[in-house]
Amino acid sequence: MTTFVEAINETMARAMREDERVIVLGEDVAEGGPYLVTAGLAEEFGRERVRNTPISEGAVCGVAVGAAQSGLKPVVEIMFIDFITLALDQLVNQAAKAHFMSGGQLSVPLVLRTQGGAGQRNGAQHSQSLEAWLTHVPGLKVVMPSGAADAAGLLWSAIADPNPVVFVENKSLYFRRESVPDPPETIPLGQARTLRPGRDVTIIALSRMVHDALEAADRLAGEGVEAEVIDPRTLVPLDLDTLTQSVTRTGRAVVAHEAVAAGGFGAELAAQLQAAAFDYLEAPIQRVGAPYTPVPVSPPLEDAYRPGAEDIVRAGKVALEWGQYDAEPWEKGALAGS
């Protein structure tokens, strides 16, 4: 059994053994980083290829973009996705646009690893889920694995990709164990995974919420409801075909993520699914996400803030009961102040 952290670490080591162009950059990466994801890499590959950087996310990302355009394949660590705000100029205005603006002459084979998610009592500035920002930028690929095996397979594909990839890891998953093939199975970017088949409602969940979705499906099964659970695994590119095929069969859908519901990637999923499967829908697509407030640091408040299995069960029941009586959406719209 392998933890998420071990899967990421072993995949980076394997990539570095097979390709000397792969380097690792970031704050304290030579010492293992804050979660020991890069532990042991400096000892095996040396500090020329595993480089500690100053505490300047903009500088780190800028160096990585230049290295990638010069023929290297940097894997950059930004400790918290909250700090990616400081690297967005380089990531969004340089890395994401270089291939397009050079008429295809430049490529940026860069992987930016970052950690998101609440639940660690880290406060509002170290606990956000900001993946929706990144999916809005043409030229960036965005990956969100939910387990160790997927993390290994997707990271391998991300490192091999000639385009910039943001690899978002949920901190709450880091020490969850699961079986990982040896060697890990390579997973193409843009390939969703159906974890549980069902005929009554489709639950599409991201990252940590995949495990809550499976728990919710178990609970719904106790009430005679067969819920299908799908993990998109990558947000860009998105496997819309797999999602649409499921929704057209079940006629009902719930999209769930840990990020704030308002403006979250679930809104994009709902919009694309209703356009692709409108004639088959029996109810509005339900969205599960965090409330429209900064992440609390108080343990009871943070626990209440984080969406989970209970929210998914409730959303599933609303979708199933729609039209039978005056069922109400669980979330009426945070931006409206309700």
Residues designated catalytic: 57, 126
Task: Output the CA torsion sign for 207, 210, 211, 213.
Answer: positive
Between the alpha carbon of residue 224 and those of residues 3, 195, 196, 252, 315, the distances in Å are 34, 18, 15, 16, 16
Give the list of residues 6+ apart from residue 182 with CB closer than 8 angstroms, or none. Answer: none
| Rounded distance between C-alpha atoms, residue 171 and residue 80, angstroms | 9
HSE of 249, CA atoms in CB hemisphere, 13 A: 14
Contact 55, 105 (CB under 8 A): no
| Rounded distance between C-alpha atoms, residue 72 and residue 56, angstroms | 21
Sort 336 into a burial class: Cβ within 10 Å, 0-12 / 13-18 / 19+: exposed
Residue 94: which of 69, 115, 65, 68 has the closest Cα? 65
H helices of 140-292, where? 148-160, 209-221, 240-250, 265-277
Question: For the chain, how are helix, strand and coil distributed in percent, rounded to 5?
Answer: 40, 20, 40
CB count within 10 Å of CB 79 equals 20
CA angle, residues 63, 13, 159, in degrees to nearest 5: 55
| Rounded distance between C-alpha atoms, residue 102 and residue 90, angstroms | 16
Sort 293 into a burial class: Cβ within 10 Å, 0-12 / 13-18 / 19+: exposed
- In DSSP notation, 112-147 reads EEEEE-S-SS--TTS----HHHHHTSTT-EEE---S
Say which residue the tokens 């901190």 belong to: 171
